[in-house]
Amino acid sequence: MAQVQPNANVSSGGVPPSLPESVREEVFVIIPAYNEGEAVGAVIEEVRAIYPNVVVVDDGSKDHSADVSAKAGALVLRHAINRGQGAALQTGIDFAIEQGAKYIVTFDSDGQHRVEDIPALIDPILNGRWDISLGSRFLGGVENIKPSRKFLLRLGVLFTRIVSRVRITDTHNGLRGFSRKAAKRIHITLDRMAHASELIDQVRDCGLPYGEVPVHIRYTDYSKAKGQRSTGAFKIVFHYLFKRMTG
C-alpha cells in the first residue's frame, strides 16, 4: 500500500542546496513544451547549469521552441502534431528510462519552477524514504498567483480527495520526482491536462511509497498569459471522469 505524507517538509529538514555530482548525472529533467520559444531557452540554461540531462519534448510547436531548446543544450524529442502535455510527459519519461535514468524530474517550460527545488524532490527518493515526490506550492510558496487561480487549485485538491481519495495539498503541480522503478509504473493515457489527475490515481495504485515536498512556484506575466484558463477546468474534469467511466 502506498503511503502519503502530505505534511512532510523535507526541504526544511537539511536537504543540501545541491545533490552530489554523481547523482545529478543520473537525473533526467523532462520539460514538455508547446510554443514556448520565448521562455524555454532560459529555463533549460538554468537547469543545465546543474543537471546535464535535460530532455525537451516539443509537442508539435508552431514556433521555434525546438530550435531554441537544442541551442540551449537540451536533448529534443518532437511530436509531429500537438498531442497535449500528458503525451509529452510520457514520451519524455519513456525516453529517459531507455537512456538509463535513475531519477526523473518533470519540470514546466514557462519559468514557473525553480531548479533549487529539485534536490528536495530527489533527496527522499535517494535516501529510500519514498519513490515518488509530488511538489506542493501550498506547503512551500507561490508568487503572484491570482485569487481565482488559487481558488481553482484548491477546488482541484478537494476534487482529488473526494474522487481519487488521495490526501494531497496540490493536485496540478507539474514539478515531480520519480525513482526509475516508479517511472516504469507510470503510463499516462490522457494526453491533455487531465493527465495530472490520472497520474495521481496511478501514484496511488502503483504500490510504491510517495510523499509531498514543499516547492516554490513563481507566476510571471508570461506564465499567467500562457496558463490554463478557468473554463478549461471543466474540460479537465470531463475528460478525467469520462476516462474513469470508460476504462
Q: Which helix (H) or strand (E) holds 142?
A: strand 132-143
Domain that residue 59 falls in: 15-246
Count the alpha carbons within 13 Å of 118 in the hemisphere toward its beta carbon.
Answer: 27
Whether residue 218 lies inside any domain: the answer is: yes
Which CATH number characterizes residue 229's domain? 3.90.550.10
The closest of 199, 106, 115, 215 to 156, measured between CA atoms, is 199
pLDDT value of position 193: 60
Confirm whether 23 is domain-assigned. yes
Q: Is residue 119 part of a domain?
A: yes
Domain annotation covers residue 154: yes
pLDDT at 70: 98
Assess if residue 9 is contained within a domain.
Answer: no
- Residue 124 has a pLDDT of 97
At 109, is the secondary structure helix, strand, or coil?
coil
Q: How would you write the pLDDT of the chain (247 residues) with one tens digit per residue?
A: 334 443 333 333 444 458 999 999 999 999 999 999 999 999 999 999 999 999 999 999 999 999 999 999 999 999 999 998 999 999 999 999 999 999 999 999 999 999 999 999 999 999 999 999 999 999 999 998 888 778 887 777 777 777 777 889 998 899 999 999 999 999 988 755 667 888 888 999 899 999 999 999 998 878 767 655 554 555 555 455 545 556 5
Task: Report the pLDDT value the prediction gives residue 144, as an integer from 0 to 100.
Answer: 85
| The total number of structural domains that make up the chain | 1
Max alpha carbon distance in the chain (Å)? 45
Q: What is the pLDDT of residue 71?
A: 98
Q: Is residue 2 part of a domain?
A: no
In a domain, 26, yes or no: yes
Tell me what pLDDT residue 147 has: 85
Nearest to 111 by CA among 227, 231, 202: 227
- pLDDT for 162 equals 77
At a CB cut-off of 8 Å and minimum separation 6, what does 211 contact?
3, 4, 5, 6, 8, 10, 124, 129, 130, 132, 133, 134
- For the CA atoms of 38, 40, 45, 50, the dihedral, rounded to the nearest 10 degrees, stands at 150
In a domain, 6, yes or no: no
Q: Which of 76, 201, 52, 184 is nearest to 134 (CA)?
A: 201
pLDDT at residue number 146 = 81
At 7 the pLDDT is 35
**Is 120 within 8 Å of 141 (Cβ atoms)?**
no
